[in-house]
């Protein structure tokens, strides 16, 4: 009986020792976890503080760059903002520097060069809130160069996308369709097919705008209305001068003029030729022509 009691006591003691050992391990693990959490919190706080300081430095550098760019040559301006974009990559100031580069290139007429900062922005800041506007600007830049297929590729994701850029993106997409139609002018069937696609796109804009008057920009609606009229006239057989490219006569003086053809050319009607000799009525007669070529009323009869 005594042996059984001793065995029970030993078993209880061993169990208590195991429980105590496990408790010590748990305490040790808890202490480690607490230490890790404290270190992580300190690290996050330091990183945030460091990023805040870096963002402040980037904002100050961008403001200084804006002042330094005044009065500089185009190459110097682009280099100033390029340095900001490279030194502070990943920060809002660097994004803004790329936007400045694009705007400067575009508004100084360097349309092709304006693509580079836009593509760099889309590559380096894919999750940026500015991405829809940047993609729209890239599509419009390609449209201005006559790269209608490239413009369509960039604008298609925005066609029914973010509300802030949707109206402008849909208008630019319709303009790209019309531009593709102009490139197929030499093939009447394909030309008309592509014009129909452009017409549907413009018609959709006008129809959508009528139900969303408060959110659709007036300029977008007016452009769509005007373009829809032009496309309808083209489909009816009228020929408009291509607004996206200069007329052939402006590029090659030897190119034949469209005046005098059977197709009506809107805006190209020749001015009346008054150089031919016209037998003028006698002085005082009705219909006498003065030096300016205007017809005068008959002179009053003498009393």
Sorted by sequence, the CB contacts under 8 Å of residue 236 that are 6+ apart come out as none
Mean pLDDT of 156-160: 85
pLDDT digits (tens, 9 = 90+) for 198-231: 999 999 988 887 776 567 788 898 999 999 999 9
Instruction: Considering only residues 144 and 274, tell me which one the structure prediction assigns the higher pLDDT.
Output: 144
Contacts of 164 (CB under 8 A, 6+ apart): 132, 133
pTM for this model (two decimals): 0.60
Q: Which residues contact 112 (CB under 8 A, 6 or more apart)?
A: 145
Residues 6+ apart with CB under 8 A from 162: 132
Q: What pLDDT is recorded for position 270? A: 44
Structure tokens at 170: 């849909």
Q: What is the pLDDT of residue 75?
A: 86
In angstroms and rounded to an integer, the radius of gyration of the C-alpha atoms of the chain is 37
Q: Sorting pLDDT into bands at 50, 70 and 90, what band is 47?
A: low
Query: For the chain, which domains are there?
Result: 18-128 (no CATH), 132-245 (1.25.40.10)
Tens-digit pLDDT profile for residues 65-87: 888 888 888 888 889 998 999 88
**Predicted local confidence at residue 288, as pLDDT:** 46
pLDDT at 102 over 50: yes
In this prediction, residues 111-130 reach a mean pLDDT of: 91
Q: What confidence tier does 295 reach under pLDDT thresholds 50, 70, 90?
A: very low
Mean confidence (pLDDT) of the chain: 76
Indicate if the pLDDT at residue 25 is higher than 90.
no
Report how far residue 160's alpha carbon sits from residue 163's, in angstroms, rounded to the nearest whole number. Answer: 8
pLDDT 10s digits, 239-294: 655 555 544 444 455 554 444 333 334 344 444 444 444 444 454 444 444 444 44
pLDDT digits (tens, 9 = 90+) for 165-210: 889 999 999 999 999 999 998 999 999 999 999 999 999 988 887 7
Contact 142, 154 (CB under 8 A): yes
Contacts of 106 (CB under 8 A, 6+ apart): 114, 137, 141
């Amino acid at each position: 009986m005594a042996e059984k009691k001793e065995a029970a006591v030993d078993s209880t003691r061993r169990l208590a020792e195991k429980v105590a050992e496990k408790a010590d391990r748990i305490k040790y693990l808890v202490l480690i976890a607490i230490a890790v959490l404290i270190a992580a919190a300190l690290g996050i706080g330091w990183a945030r503080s460091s990023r805040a300081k870096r963002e402040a430095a980037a904002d100050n550098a961008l403001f200084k760059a804006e002042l330094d760019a005044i009065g500089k040559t185009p190459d110097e301006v682009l280099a100033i903002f390029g340095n900001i974009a490279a030194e502070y990559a990943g920060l809002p100031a660097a994004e803004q520097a790329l936007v400045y580069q694009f705007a400067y290139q575009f508004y100084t007429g360097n349309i092709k060069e304006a693509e580079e900062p836009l593509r760099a922005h889309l590559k380096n800041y894919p999750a940026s809130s500015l991405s829809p506007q940047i993609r729209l600007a890239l599509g419009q830049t390609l449209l201005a160069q006559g790269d209608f297929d490239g413009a369509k590729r960039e604008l298609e994701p925005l066609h029914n996308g973010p509300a802030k850029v949707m109206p402008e993106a849909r208008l630019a997409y319709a303009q790209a369709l019309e531009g593709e139609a102009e490139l197929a002018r030499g093939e009447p069937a394909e030309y008309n097919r592509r014009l129909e696609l452009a017409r549907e796109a413009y018609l959709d804009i006008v129809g959508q705008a009528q139900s969303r008057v408060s959110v659709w920009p007036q300029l977008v609606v007016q452009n769509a209305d005007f373009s829809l009229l032009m496309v309808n006239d083209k489909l009816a057989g009228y020929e408009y001068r291509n607004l996206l490219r200069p007329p052939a006569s402006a590029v090659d003086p030897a190119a034949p003029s469209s005046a005098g053809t059977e197709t009506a050319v809107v805006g190209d009607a020749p001015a009346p030729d008054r150089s031919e000799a016209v037998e003028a009525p006698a002085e005082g007669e009705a219909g006498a022509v003065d030096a300016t070529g205007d017809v005068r009323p008959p002179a009053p009869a003498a009393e």
